[in-house]
Amino acid sequence: MGSTEFGQALRRWRDRISPEASGLPLGGKRRVHGLRREELSLLAGISVDYITRLEQGRATAPSEQVVEALARALRLSDAERAHLFRLGGLRPPGPQNVPTRITPSVQRVLERLAGTPVAVFDATWTLLLANQPYAALMGDPSSWRGHQRNGVWRTFLGLSDRVRQTPQSHHALQAALVADLRDATARYPADERLQRLVADLSAQSDRFAELWETGITGRHEAAGKTIDHPHVGAVTLDCDILTVAGSDLRIMVYTAEPGTDAERLALITTLGTRSLAG
């Protein structure tokens, strides 16, 4: 099945779903009944240009992450999701793979937290979804691709992070993430994407390789964090990680206790990703 069929299916499903069903405001007159490409781009974290090329059959061989993001944004059923994977020349993920599907019920929970910084990660700590308040607080992840979207990779390769850390807390975080990742390999020993991530981390980071060889296992848990925001300054927040039963998804939620940095967090959320100087 070729890229033309993939593009036709993408356009058909984009026309089918309304902005309201996707959690977007309706706003103003519309010439299309379904989602605009710009809206699908926002929901899936994929550029408008790439979506256009996919729909027109000018882009071939989309990655698993791209297909998963599109299926999630379009609210596809399990059967439709599997069909889109096949149209993209990919094998639909099976039970041996790390789950990446965000179910409609979890989507509804996230929509009700629209004013709170929330991100969803899979069991490998790969970012699946981040809402606008999260992007405003932690930095916009929409341009991240491949391993850049993985929290373990970003921690060990020193990619940008606004969380304030001491050397001791950084080392503790590294150990916790390695333990968590090893635990995931025990649950999903046949997942090729997870195997590739571990191999690439071992090759690129001596610190990761050293910790991996210790055989530590466990779960990464978050508590309080101080985020150095470029426009608002330091914000100290509670960070809770909720695990979705049956899917191994991790929902990371940032909140502030009333009377602490709640007003600063509200300001960040109101500003979105715009600069204070803008």
Q: What is the pLDDT of residues 149-165, one digit of tens each?
A: 999 999 999 887 899 99
127-130: strand order across its sheet: 127-130, 118-121, 249-255, 233-244, 224-229
Highest mean pLDDT: which range of 26-30, 130-134, 244-248: 130-134
Judged against a pLDDT cut of 60, whether residue 112 lies above it is answered with: yes
| Residue 28, pLDDT score | 60
Mean pLDDT of 30-45: 84
CATH of the domain at 122: 3.30.450.180
Per cent of the chain over pLDDT 70 is 94
Query: Could you tell me if 115 and 78 lie in one domain?
Result: no
Q: Which residues of 178-188 are buried (b: 16+ CB within 10 A; e: fewer)?
A: bbbbbbbbeeb
Same domain assignment for residues 231 and 135: yes
* Closest-CA residue to 230 (of 156, 158, 162, 130): 162
Within a domain: 96: no
Q: What is the pLDDT of residue 273?
A: 52
Structure tokens at 102: 């965000």
**pLDDT band, very low/low/confident/very high, at 108 (cuts 50, 70, 90):** confident
Confidence (pLDDT) at 107: 85
pLDDT of residue 111: 86
**What number is the average pLDDT over the span 112-126?**
93
Q: Are residues 79 and 146 in the same domain?
A: no
Query: Domain for residue 80, yes or no?
Result: yes
Decide if 97 is inside a domain: no
Q: How remote is the C-alpha of 79 from its chain's centroid?
A: 22
Q: Which of 45-54, 60-69, 124-133, 201-210 has the highest mean pLDDT?
A: 201-210
126 and 61 belong to one structural domain: no
Q: Do 52 and 37 form a contact (C-beta atoms < 8 A)?
A: yes
Residue 278 has pLDDT above 50, yes or no: no
Q: How far is residue 259's CA from residue 257's CA, in Å, rounded to a whole number?
A: 6
Domain that holds residue 193: 104-271
Lowest model confidence (mean pLDDT) among 24-28, 113-117, 179-183, 272-276: 272-276
- State the pLDDT at residue 1: 43
Q: Which pLDDT does position 27 carry in this prediction?
A: 61
Residue 53 in any domain: the answer is: yes
- Residue 13 is part of a domain; what is its CATH number? 1.10.260.40
DSSP state of 51: H
| Amino acid at residue number 255 | T
| Residue 142 within any structural domain of the chain | yes
**176 and 216 part of one domain:** yes
Q: Are residues 35 and 118 in the same domain?
A: no
Q: What is the mean pLDDT of residues 52-70?
A: 91
Residue 276, in any domain of the structure: no
- Domains contained in the chain, number: 2
pLDDT band at residue 259 using 50, 70 and 90 as cut-offs: confident
pLDDT digits (tens, 9 = 90+) for 177-224: 999 999 999 999 999 999 999 999 999 999 999 999 998 887 777 778
Looking at the predicted structure, is the pLDDT value of residue 254 above 80? yes
Structure-token pair, residue 161: 């992070």
